[in-house]
A and B are shown apart, each in its own frame.
Chain A
Amino acid sequence: MSVKLLFSLLFIFPLLGFLFNGVRFKSKNYKLAGGLATAAVFASFMVAVTLVVKLIGMEEGSRQITAHLFSWIHIGDFVANASFLLDPISAVMILIITGVGTLIHLFSIGYMSHDERPSKYFAYLNLFLFNMMLLVLGDNLLILFVGWEGVGLCSYLLIGFWFSDSEKAAAGMKAFITNRIGDAAFLIGLFIIFFQFGSIEFLTINSLLPTTAEVGWFGPMTLACLFLFIGATGKSAQIPLYVWLPDAMAGPTPVSALIHAATMVTAGVYLIVRLSGLYLLAPNVMMLIAIIGGLTAFFAATIAITQNDIKKILAYSTVSQLGYMFLAVGVGAFVPALFHLMTHAFFKALMFLGSGSVIHAMHEEQDIRKMGGLKKYMPITHFTFLLGWLAIIGVPPLAGFFSKDEILWYTYASPQGSKILWILGVVTAAMTAFYMTRLMALTFWGKSRVAKDVHPHESPVSMLIPLVVLGVLSVIGGWIGIPHVISAVLPGHIPNVLEHWLEPVVKNINLGEISVAAEWGGMLLSITAVAFSATLAYLFYGSSKSEMPNKISTALGPIYKLISGKYFIDELYFGKIINPLIDMSKGLWLYIDVNFIDKITYLAADFAAGCGRGVRDLQNGNIQRYAMYMSIGLIIVLSIILLGS
């Protein structure tokens, strides 16, 4: 089959799914809607596999498939075509997107079975996948941007899916507008790139990259990278634009798994990996990215410790893990960033779906203080969730261990890295272990605190299959990226498949001379830290109810309040930016529009009318008056003549 056809099919399946379900959005037949939507994504997955197989069959170093569908915008020198590029980076991405996407669609059938509008839900979900593929497959920045905004739109629609609840609708709106701030910056970055390179196609940009890195903050590459990064902070929920993601949990849980954990929020990481050559020329921006990523990872983890809503914990955990990915790209570890993106997609999607299974079983209860002991009611959910837990806290040899460890190692050893950021990363890893263990313990273990009228039950098979598959992936997913230092001691020398696969298109920063001992030392240290804090959390929240957590939180007093209040960032934004802006706008309307500009026009009109009135009185038809005017005029004229002569 021709490549063009394959690319078209990739998009056509979810688009048809969207149209089909969209037109009959009132239908309550969740099996038909969900079945078709799942089939559409699965078909796309199969096409993606076909394409990737084709790619693998090509010669190493020239693995590239391009397809030009149609000419979109062509004005002067500006060309943006509907053209697509499959290379090792986008290959990884589409497999994740369509693969995990299929599983989440399948899960959704069961999850949305009681909903009023399942068709609408699946239509949006298909539309999301369509846009997400545009984002990762576009061969230029503008097609990427189309997908970028498109996924934002779907996210908006799905967060506000239950729009009758004003708060949920507000959460959707917040997500869209916050993302729009990033998008505006993205556009500026795109403009800079266009006027710098005369093109927005990735391949052209890469071929025209200058050879020396920029110093300072105001070079064109630096500014372009900076603005694109601001765009990424919006989409990928980094400081200062992360505030929308926790609220985004208002949407159905599978949406959180797909959009707000596995795929869309990683778009920012993808963007930077895609432009890694450009970013390497802007070391200042790289440093900024690493700092923002490290801080986001750290602060989000602190908030996650104090939350009680199962989805909120996972949401802050996602923000924190995305922080790791940005830390990685910031220190030049592009491959580990993509690696962590992938493993995170597996285990975080797993945990979100698991939480969905729990919430489904608990009749929409999300507070983990009201759970406990669910292990015996839902053994499969528990077991798969357990795998996710082990993966995210970084227990070897599960997926998260390898990816997170490599990020930490690069943070330590890279010329762009720093020891402080490394410490921040290790502490965050320990905190991750703590809050995730707390989540496990309070939800699944210990005594049941479930309300009497709630009868938890295991979810149906269609919901369990995705859990199992993702559970397996969370275990073995990391094995494609085993670092050299470990594979050197393992029998059979397992190669780092991922690094090798990406090598022709993305290269990590050069670490220079590396110390094997330091790498092992760092690894052991982080494992120890994780083991310690996981044990601590188990002791606090495990089988026997400990008083320690309460004691600590009381002892910390205001600090605890600050953290559990999420640092009051939302309040800050509303109090200092949004509300003043609204007040100002009201002021503009009232004082500038109504009372200033309009008043001036009235004055002008009054002036004209006044003149008219003045002149009107002159001609009132009174003959005597006219005679008088004439005599006055005559006197004036005569006196002028007389005086002049």
Chain B
Amino acid sequence: MFLLSLLIFVPVVYGLMLLFVPKSQVKFTALLFSLSTFILSTRLFREFDPSRADLQLVEKFSWVKAFGINYFVGIDGISFWLVLLTTFLMPITILGSWKAVEKNTRAFHANLMFLQSALIGTFLAFDAILFYVFFEASLIPMYFLIGLWGGPRKIYASVKFFIYTMFGSVFMLLAIITMMIMTQTLDGGGGMSASLLDFYKLDIPFIGGTLINSQTLLFFAFCLAFAIKCPMFPVHTWLPDAHVEAPTAGSVLLAGVMLKMGTYGFLRFVLPMFPEATAYWSWLLMLLAVIGIIYGALVAMVQPDIKKLVAYSSVSHMGYVILGLFTLNEFGVTGGLYQMLNHGVSTGALFLLVGMVYERTHNREISKYGGLAKAAPWFTICFMIITLSSIAVPMTNGFIGEFLILLGAFQANSYLAGAAVLGVVLGATYMLWMVKRVFFGSTGELVEKYNSKLEMNWREGAVIAPLIILVFWMGLLPNHFLNWSKASLEHLLQNKNNYTLSYVTESTPSINGKKMIALKDKAVK
């Protein structure tokens, strides 16, 4: 059973099919399609064995033989939840923008499907070129989502988004090609290979304290690409514009999943492939992450636009993720991975909630609100719960992630952790100040005008309910989630300096993992 390929390509087929569905039924069909993808993805719970740290459910076919490029997909504990996060958010996103998008609904939903396919592909690809293709392909549907269904400055935002991220990817492509050339020396001078598993085996020369050596250069090339994607201070300025102009669905997927492509990249490429450079330069990444946490929070605090505030809060939250990953210890990395999921849930939910109000009032200026709690009490409860998750109150998911990251950071560098803890205070400040101005106090002009229409309806309740359940589930029983990633993360951290990943094909009984790959790799070459 080609489960992973199905997960990648079924959405493409769905997307194409949607183009031919009668207009009146597009939304409903898209919802069903995305639900079916989600249900398909839950097969992973049965097929994936969390006790093993190796690569599972592998599918590998030769693609460009001359350069050792394969269609090579697989899954391990690191990508497991990110795939599920993507399939989980999709139906929610579609149901969430039920009323928001009225023009070109066919193209809109087809784009969402294509985007999903590219996102899942990114998380499953274990061939560097294939990864790069998916990584870049995800830009195209997002570019259209922003550029066609976006706000007033959509062209500016979509072009800025596209060029910014393209810029980083170019360096990544260069780095990938360099590494492919390097793989020729592996296994006694065979051909090229673009397999990540071969990249892991490379022993790239590193000289501390200088910039011009292969490992450091490759390290920074990848870092730049992923840092822009995350985004990390100081290359974050595309994000607020992209978010503000994007339609709700675009924002949810952008914040919920696309940003994780960056942090996932750090975890999949940078940490295991360049161990010396990572250890040497981790202080820089951690420092930038902490600056990002504080900077993002401070700038979020003074935003006049709710959506922009949430966008800057993403900068702050992603700072936590990067801080966690570069602590290089179990607490930080586990927390970082968890925070990726948390951010997907809570920021995704925040964008959905902001979208619900925006659909009614067509205005997001904080100063024009006030007293919303009285007009829309159920909506307020939902918003409050998500706010608590976002500011990491215990018993919500955010707390587990943030706590583990700070714990790990304290072990790695207590001064930086001390600075990062300020983010805990500032996070509460910008969120609660916004909540106070939007929901409390006397009735603002927009609330006055749309008073009776502001309460959320059943559809919107159904959109937000699964996210709220996840907030508490992930906050109270984190082991339910972390157990699936534990083996892979432990494997990564325990073999920091000579990380390898092996796999067993389904058809062959697992006698000896390592030998099997060697055989298999040879065979493909």
Contact = CB atoms under 8 A, between A and B. Distances in A.
A593 B299 contact: yes
A170 interface: yes
Contact of B478 (A72, A170, A594): A72
Nearest to A604: B167
Interface stretch (A74-82, A400-408, A511-519): A74-82
A156 B428 CA distance: 12
Contact of A71 (B234, B394, B407, B479): B479
Interface stretch (A158-166, A341-349, A446-454): A158-166
Contacts of A176: 428, 432
B395 interface: yes
Interface string A67-91: 0001111111010000000000000
A76 B302 contact: no
A180 interface: yes
Given A71-B479, A164-B441, A601-B237, A582 B302 contact: yes
B417 interface: yes
Contacts of A605: 163
B60 interface: no
Contacts of B432: 156, 173, 176-177
Given A25-B377, A173-B433, A187 B424 contact: yes
Contacts of B374: 164
Interface in B65-91: none
Interface string A157-194: 00010011110011011001100110111011001101
A586 interface: yes
B369 interface: no
A26 B404 contact: no
B422 interface: yes
B422 A184 contact: yes
Given A75-B334, A584-B298, A191 B442 contact: no
Given A73-B400, A164-B371, A597-B234, A184 B421 contact: yes
Interface string B410-437: 1100100110011011001100110010
A499 B123 CA distance: 62
Given A26-B377, A73-B400, A188-B417, A169 B424 contact: no
Contact of A164 (B417, B440, B476, B479): B440
Contact of A73 (B160, B234, B478): B478
Nearest to A581: B298
A145 B394 contact: yes
Nearest to B428: A180
Interface string B513-525: 0000000000000
A598 interface: yes
B274 interface: no
Nearest to B164: A601
Contacts of A183: 424
Contacts of A194: 407
Interface in B450-488: 476-479, 482
A83 to B, nearest CB: 14
B440 A166 contact: yes
B400 A589 contact: no
Contacts of A417: none
A573 interface: no
A288 to B, nearest CB: 19
A195 B410 contact: yes
B441 A169 contact: yes
B54 interface: no
Interface stretch (A146-154, A482-490, A634-642): A146-154
Contacts of B299: 585, 588-589, 593
A276 B442 CA distance: 47
A153 B417 contact: no
A188 B418 contact: yes
Contacts of B167: 604
Contacts of B371: 164
A75 B331 contact: yes
Q: Is the interface of B mostly helix, strand, loop or mixed?
A: helix
Contacts of A597: 234-235, 237
A75 B442 contact: no
A146 B406 contact: no
Contacts of A142: 403
A180 B425 contact: yes
B301 A163 contact: no
Nearest to A157: B384
B59 interface: no
B373 interface: yes
Interface residues of A, number: 54
B164 A146 contact: no
Contact of B403 (A74, A187, A601): A187
A420 to B, nearest CB: 33
Given A176-B428, A177-B425, A170 B298 contact: no
Interface string A17-44: 0000000011000000000000000000
Q: Which of B331, B422, B440 has the most CB of A within 10 A?
A: B440
B436 A170 contact: yes
B295 A76 contact: no
B404 A75 contact: yes
A450 B414 CA distance: 59
B302 A169 contact: no
B479 A146 contact: no
Interface string B155-173: 0000010011001000000
A75 B489 CA distance: 11
A592 B303 CA distance: 14
Given A149-B394, A166-B442, A177-B425, A191 B410 contact: yes
B337 to A, nearest CB: 11
B393 interface: yes
B388 interface: yes
Nearest to B384: A157
Interface in A284-336: none
A164 B372 CA distance: 9
A78 B410 CA distance: 13
A521 B178 CA distance: 86
B404 A187 contact: no
Nearest to A163: B440
A87 to B, nearest CB: 23
A524 B485 CA distance: 67
A297 B334 CA distance: 44
Nearest to B404: A75
Contact of B424 (A180, A191, A192, A581): A180
B315 to A, nearest CB: 10
Contacts of B429: 177, 180
Nearest to A82: B476
A149 B394 CA distance: 7
A177 B371 CA distance: 21
Given A163-B440, A180-B424, A601-B164, A75 B418 contact: no
Interface in B26-48: none
A148 to B, nearest CB: 8
A585 B301 contact: yes
B330 interface: yes
B17 to A, nearest CB: 38
Given A146-B395, A177-B432, 9 more contacts: A26-B377, A73-B479, A75-B331, A78-B331, A188-B410, A191-B411, A195-B411, A585-B302, A594-B237
Interface of A: 25-26, 70-76, 78, 142, 145-146, 149-150, 153, 156, 160, 163-166, 169-170, 172-173, 176-177, 180-181, 183-185, 187-188, 191-192, 194-195, 581-582, 584-586, 588-589, 592-594, 597-598, 601, 604-605
7 contacts: A75-B331, A153-B393, A163-B441, A164-B441, A166-B370, A176-B432, A593-B240
- Identify the 6 closest CB pairs spanning chains A and B, nearest first: A169-B440, A166-B441, A146-B394, A585-B298, A163-B440, A191-B410
Interface of B: 160, 163-164, 167, 234-235, 237, 240, 295, 298-299, 301-303, 330-331, 334, 370-371, 373-374, 377, 388, 393-395, 400, 403-404, 406-407, 410-411, 414, 417-418, 421-422, 424-425, 428-429, 432-433, 436, 439-442, 476-479, 482
